[in-house]
Amino acid sequence: SSGAPPGPPSRLSISRAGLGACPRRQEVLASPLLLFANRRDVRLVDAGGAKLESTIVVSGLEDAAAVDFQYSQGVIYWTDVSEEAIKQTLFNQSGGAVQSVIVSGLVSPDGLACDWVGKKLYWTDSETNRIEVASLNGTSRKVLFWQDLDQPRAIALDPAHGYMYWTDWGETPRIERAGMDSSVRKIIVDSDIYWPNGLTIDLEEQKLYWADAKLSFIHRANLDGSFRQKVVEGSLTHPFALTLSGDTLYWTDWQTHSIHACNKRTGEKRREILGALYSPMDIQVLSQDRQPYFHTPCEEDNGGCSHLCLLSPREPFYACACPTGVQLEDDGKTCKAGAEEVLLLARRTDLRRISLDMPDFTDIILQVDDIRHAIAIDYDPVERYVYWTDDEVRAIRRAYLDGSGAQTLVSTEINDPDGIAVDWVARNLYWTDTGTNRIEVTRLNGTSRKILISENLDEPRAIVLNPAMG
């Protein structure tokens, strides 16, 4: 393939061998199966079938936007921008169970890409302005980029070379590329670009294709942005996403409510594949060809990494990484047990923690149910419980930092618990109540409750302790 960027020769040959080795290629190319999100459902259509009818893979969705798959495991993943979640199901079992992968800390996950060899999910969020990665089951989640992102949308991966690509249609629209380990970030297209929407990679010819919804074109370029060429010029209505198989490009269009196709080199042989759709969003060619196998350094013992092993364009072609907020030890492989300095925040309807160990300061919501009006918050570094007061539930509660072990400690004779303080030495909990106008104390588990001061208090609010001085 001419025009391939210079890369590690060993890996290039591996990936090429992987591509060439797929025996069913011609057959699959003749009749690609297209997987697409349609807001209310996710569907499949056989683009080579005689009667073009789509079959529903999952229905009853709120707002499915981005979609991708892991072919070897038969799993499809999608984002739901109303439910603010990433979910999965098996594509070979219609009516199969839907499982949640990520359910917190998302607002508008518009782009999703599965690293099929490294077994990771990458996604963009145009509201939190982050690009994140996690294991396929949602664990070991990490924020990769949190700066200089405005409206990140489509994301595509080239695991054979360790690169990720994304579009951003914000104030300064552009296409960027970075290592899948967040290294070597670079803008590769920033001219003649307005609303870069869809993005896809031609793995065989090492080309990047994208659609611009405002300038109504599909262009392509080398994977470093060079040698840009027109494919379809100025005649599209509102392309949203695109994908390719063999010589054919497929894209969805918001205005025509259709899936369209054309020749990827010439833009000719334009045709409608499927029309009268509710709202076609992201689209992928569901095929083993789009996910060729090759060996990666992450396969043996997870690359020696305790948590994430991310593919990288730089030698040794992978990097270990830790969940958001957690530092990597000096060995470059093991993650610390957790964040060492954490800011805790009560935010009325949720509690959040922000690691101060890492520069991204990403807030993570504690997975605790039924928080309605959290006011005061404190922490016991000995047992590692977070304590808080809730002015609507009228209770004092505690839970671990990961949200587990939630308990209600005090729920009677409590009106407006406003301030709270943990005595981490003598193991007691103090609080103020602006309703009962008292300051009270209990053991940290809620037993042995005692009123300390009930006179001459009008609206007692904040409270702090100095245990060393009593």
Ligand X SMILES: *[C@@H]1O[C@H](CO)[C@@H](O)[C@H](O)[C@H]1NC(C)=O
Q: Which residues bind ligand X (CB under 6 A)?
A: 74, 92, 135, 137, 139, 427, 443, 445, 447
Closest CB to ligand X among residues 39, 141: 141
- CA 419 to CA 461: how far, in whole Å? 5
Closest CB to ligand X among residues 185, 443: 443
CB of 75 to ligand X, least distance (A): 8
What's the token pair of residue 174?
Answer: 């552009």
Closest CB to ligand X among residues 340, 402: 402
Contact 308, 333 (CB under 8 A): no
Closest CB to ligand X among residues 104, 256: 104
- CA 133 to CA 20: how far, in whole Å? 29
Closest CB to ligand X among residues 70, 362: 70
SS3 18: helix
CB of 228 to ligand X, least distance (A): 35
Closest CB to ligand X among residues 286, 346: 286
Task: Report the chain's terminal Cα–Cα distance, integer Å.
Answer: 75
Closest CB to ligand X among residues 135, 182: 135
What's the token pair of residue 13?
Answer: 């040959």
Region of 303 please: left (phi>0), alpha (psi -120 to 50) or beta. left
- CA 344 to CA 384: how far, in whole Å? 12
SS3 11: helix
CB of 380 to ligand X, least distance (A): 12
CB of 206 to ligand X, least distance (A): 26
What's the token pair of residue 402?
Answer: 């990961």
How would DSSP label each residue in 363-384?
A: EEE---S---SEEEEEEETTTT
Identify whether 239 is preceded by a cis peptide bond (ω within 30 of 0): no
Closest CB to ligand X among residues 115, 253: 115
What's the token pair of residue 27?
Answer: 């057959």
CB of 367 to ligand X, least distance (A): 14
- Return the C-alpha torsion angle 54, 26, 90, 102, nearest 10: -100
CB of 135 to ligand X, least distance (A): 4
What's the token pair of residue 351?
Answer: 């509690």
CB of 74 to ligand X, least distance (A): 3
- CA 83 to CA 87: how far, in whole Å? 10
CB of 26 to ligand X, least distance (A): 15
Position closest to ligand X via CB: 74
